[in-house]
A and B are shown apart, each in its own frame.
Chain A
Amino acid sequence: TPLSPSSALPPYFMKGSIIQLADGELKRVEDLRAEDFLQSADLSGELKIDSSTVERIDSSRTPDAVIIQFSVGEHKTQVCVEVLVEYPFFVFGQGWSSCCPHRTTQLLALSCARLSVGDVCISLTLKSLR
C-alpha cells in the first residue's frame, strides 16, 4: 500500500532554503550535490544512503499525485510511494528531479529535471541496530 501524499510540499524544497549538512556546513537546497548526502550519511553513523531505482510511475486516484515504485538497495526491496507530481527526488548524476518539473519550478522555484523510469534516486535507510 503506498504512503499517502501530504497536501503540500515541505518548506525545505523551496529554492534558497538553508540546509545543514552533518559536518555543520550550510548550503542552499539548489546547491546540494550527491557527495553532500553521501558524506553526511557517513558522518551520521546511523543512516545509510541507498540507491533507489525508479521502476514504475503510475497515475494515482488522488488528483495531482503519482504512485512511484522503487527498487531499493542491494536487496532490491520493492517500495511504492504516492507523492504529488511536483515532489522532488535527488537523482545521482542529475540532481533534483520530479514527475512534473514545470510545476516544481512554478511552486518552489527549484530547478528540476524530469524523473523517469530507470533513474537512480538517493534514499535513506537506518543502519541495523545491534
Chain B
Amino acid sequence: NVEPRSVPVFPWHSLVPFLAPTQSD
C-alpha cells in the first residue's frame, strides 16, 4: 500500500516580502 502524500498548501502572503515598516500616524 502506498500512503497518499498530502500536498502542501502555502498562504498567498508568504510569497510577498514585507518591505516597509508600519507607518505610525
Contacts and interface: CB of A to CB of B under 8 A. Distances in A.
Nearest to A17: B10
Contact of A18 (B10, B17, B22, B24): B10
Contacts of B8: 11, 17-18
Interface of B: 7-25
A37 B11 CA distance: 11
Contacts of B14: 10, 12
B11 to A, nearest CB: 6
B9 A19 contact: yes
28 contacts: A11-B8, A12-B14, A12-B15, A13-B15, A18-B8, A18-B9, A19-B12, A19-B15, A26-B9, A32-B15, A40-B13, A44-B13, A49-B16, A50-B19, A70-B19, A72-B19, A75-B23, A77-B21, A77-B23, A79-B19, A81-B17, A123-B18, A124-B13, A124-B18, A124-B19, A125-B18, A126-B22, A128-B23
A91 B23 CA distance: 23
Nearest to B19: A123
A47 B16 CA distance: 11
Given A18-B7, A122-B16, 17 more contacts: A10-B14, A13-B15, A18-B9, A21-B12, A32-B15, A47-B13, A77-B20, A123-B18, A123-B20, A124-B17, A125-B18, A125-B22, A126-B18, A126-B22, A128-B23, A128-B24, A128-B25
A98 interface: no
